[in-house]
Amino acid sequence: MSTTFAWPKKTRDIHNHHMDSTRWDDFRFRDDDIVIGTWAKSGTTWMQQILGQLVSNGANTDFAFSASPWLDLRVMPKEEVYQQLEAQQHRRFIKTHLPVDALVFSPAAKYIYIARDTRDVVWSMHHHHTHFTPQAYEMFNNTPGLVGPPLLPPVDDIRAYYHEFLDTDAGQFWPFWSNVQSWWNIRQLPNVLLVHFNNLRANTRAEISRIAGFLGIAVDEANWPQILEHCSLDYMKQQASRFEMMDAVFKGGGSSFVNKGTNGRWKDVLTPAEVQKADDIAARHLTPECAHWLKTGEVKTIIPIWP
């Protein structure tokens, strides 16, 4: 018995200092393409590295970031990105930070969305934002076609940055809550897989195995040690430090871009009320099941308790 799915349709465009969603409009998909979706600082680079390892069965020793372009990033000429992807002979894996309703969706491609607790995202984004170089601001703000305000340096105080993020739905960047909810809403589609940063950290091999199964990739047992090594934080930091483009964009280069990869750094900084604030705001923007998954990585049905 065949099943008919309501495939997502693009209903809007998103433009800002980083992104231009129209860059997907003319993209020619291949049926085996993989699209990595995230908001940002949720494990994107880690997922790119994992897919680079799975696609090569552990043989690729390079930093997979360079083979996996962020298609909606507006600062690189679209034609150059298209040419890079068209020339690739391996199974392609492409990054996006768009919500589902601003993305051209292919029923034949596979989509993996990775998410992380809001507080950990803020801590990672603050590090990322504070390490942009003057050249990075020049690139984001002066590439022709900017729509909306320019990107400005962040406040130094991480607690102030946290409150700004929550009070304005992700500060100077793009909406956070609707991004997460949009991907949660399509989790039942056969070509969509949700991955949570917590689970990837807790049992990396099991999660990579789950990702491989979703993609139909058989991993040779003998290759697991090198796959796990190549997906370790230390290995990725080492490889990223050799990626020269990072030196122009981030203070400290690639070693700064691939940071700690740890959760809970906010626990010794925020008060209990400040910690709770993220949950309270999530409850206003997300369905209860989605909010629970975003915070914990657990997928379960929440039964409301009626008064």
Query: Is 173 inside a domain boundary?
Result: yes
Query: Is 78 inside a domain boundary?
Result: yes
Query: Is 301 inside a domain boundary?
Result: no
Write the pLDDT tens digit of every residue in 72-85. Answer: 999 999 999 999 99
Specify burial of residue 234 (Cβ count, 10 A radius: 0-12, 13-18, 19+).
exposed
Structural domain count, the chain: 1
Write the pLDDT tens digit of every residue in 17-73. Answer: 999 999 999 999 999 999 999 999 999 999 999 999 999 988 776 767 778 999 999
Query: Is 145 inside a domain boundary?
Result: yes
Please state the separation of Cα 109 from the chain's center in Å.
Answer: 17
Q: What's the domain range around 142?
A: 21-296
Query: Is 4 inside a domain boundary?
Result: no
The CATH number linked to 33 is: 3.40.50.300
Query: Is 195 inside a domain boundary?
Result: yes
Query: Is 172 inside a domain boundary?
Result: yes
DSSP 196-238: EHHHHHH-HHHHHHHHHHHHT-PPPGGGHHHHHHHTSHHHHHH
Query: Is 304 inside a domain boundary?
Result: no
